[in-house]
Structure 1
């Protein structure tokens, strides 16, 4: 675990989790959706590693990046491609998606500790809820906020603040757990502490993103929280 410096941390009353790359490895399903969309335009498929680098920013940004990577920038046709993608995306939510290491164990531990939990994601809210239901995680969560529930996606703080309003917890009593620069920026804008996990979808080493602490997986989350408290 790598600990950041200079930030005060206390035991949180709530923890907010990112979804893609944090709680679930959804890249294989997202790749299948992207390639179905591209096939409809007679474009060649993209590799898993290519699509993984495009995740973050919501479906519209994913579609834009996918066509750009295929050498076919959409321009004014982006709106139509995004409409076509919506039902395709919904068909590829749980077939190949898997939980990230330590998720069930961490959420069970936190639930038994009385810590409120929520998910904040740029994925559409119904899609996020379907994935969380599929894995039996919704009972742990007092808030699920998708990108279509707010005006501005992460890295804006809107989704985090809406989740906290639903949980009735203040930002100073909350920890954000994610895997990307957007999670760090959103947490900082909302005045929250933030822990990043290795093994997600960030194309920049997570150690360079300015989190309070970086750890290998959610198996490490309880000890990571204690480390931050001890260092405060």
Structure 2
């Protein structure tokens, strides 16, 4: 897929599902969190397919979705105290295992190296809390590629709202039309369209259980190092 390099000044890159397969981290942290809660939550087994459908809209939404799934009758999940307890335990457990059960996707590191060598300025934009994102990037040796990291707690509204992408463009000093959004889900595509950024989606990752080809995007790729820049 050749794209004119002169078309872009920078790229905004998503983290979970685009650069790093973090499902294992989510599953482990959520499982430990549930064990700290009363029944029926403590007895529930968290699976990868379940988390894959729920992930992508921030940790708060992930936890609320899981609690609601476990307690389908809504007998306990309406409790603010329960959510606050779950959120507190999740933060402790995720911080303890962040990056231990995850892996960089094939071609992701090489893709970043190619883009950096081509002169593109890079910023990581994720719905993950900024501290967790920075730790994960360091853990996987990816932190050196990015001029900035914009986490879900850096703005008032997360993706699919365009606010994080617009902040990223401001930090980079670029205009959205010349800033490529690279992601793995409809959240990334919707945010890019609303911000005015061109969007590239990877064919792997987490798209709420829906086929990525059905999402409106300018291009798709199987690996990040498969892109070919035309002069």
TM above 0.5: yes
Contact 2:57 2:127 in 1 (8 A): yes
Structure 1 counterpart of 2:91: 86
Write the deviation string for residues 135-174 of structure 1: whole angstroms up to 9, x where unpaired: 2222211110000000000000111111111111111111
Shift of 1:10: 5.9
Distance of 1:64 and 1:95 partners within structure 2: 24
Aligned length: 220
Unaligned runs of 5+ in 2: none
Contact 1:43 1:70 in 2 (8 A): no
Secondary structure of 1:90's counterpart equals helix
Q: For 1:27-42, list aligned pairs within 5 A.
A: 27-41=23-37, 42=42
Shift of 1:101: 1.5
1:115 to 98, 107, 120: 120
Distance of 2:114 and 2:127 partners within structure 1: 26
Write the deviation string for residues 45-72 of structure 1: whole angstroms up to 9, x where unpaired: 1111111111111111111111122125
Contact 2:34 2:86 in 1 (8 A): no
Q: For 1:90-105, list aligned pairs within 5 A.
A: 90-105=95-110
**Moved >3 Å (runs of 4+):** none
Write the deviation string for residues 151-209 of structure 1: whole angstroms up to 9, x where unpaired: 00000011111111111111111100000000001001110000100110111111101
Distance of 1:69 and 1:92 partners within structure 2: 24
Write the deviation string for residues 99-122 of structure 1: whole angstroms up to 9, x where unpaired: 011111111111111110011000
Structure 2 counterpart of 1:135: 140
Question: What CA RMSD, in Å, does the superposition of the two structures yield over aligned residues?
Answer: 2.0
1:23 to 16, 19, 33: 19
Matched, 1:210 2:213: no
Write the deviation string for residues 9-37 of structure 1: whole angstroms up to 9, x where unpaired: 96211001110000000000110011111
Matched, 1:195 2:200: yes
Structure 2 counterpart of 1:75: 78
Structure 1 counterpart of 2:64: 64
Unaligned runs of 5+ in 1: 4-8
Deviates more, 1:111-120 or 1:37-46: 37-46
Contact 1:60 1:82 in 2 (8 A): yes
Structure 2 counterpart of 1:184: 189
Structure 2 counterpart of 1:147: 152
Distance of 2:195 and 2:91 partners within structure 1: 30
Shift of 1:80: 3.3
Q: For 1:154-165, list aligned pairs within 5 A.
A: 154-165=159-170
Matched, 1:173 2:178: yes
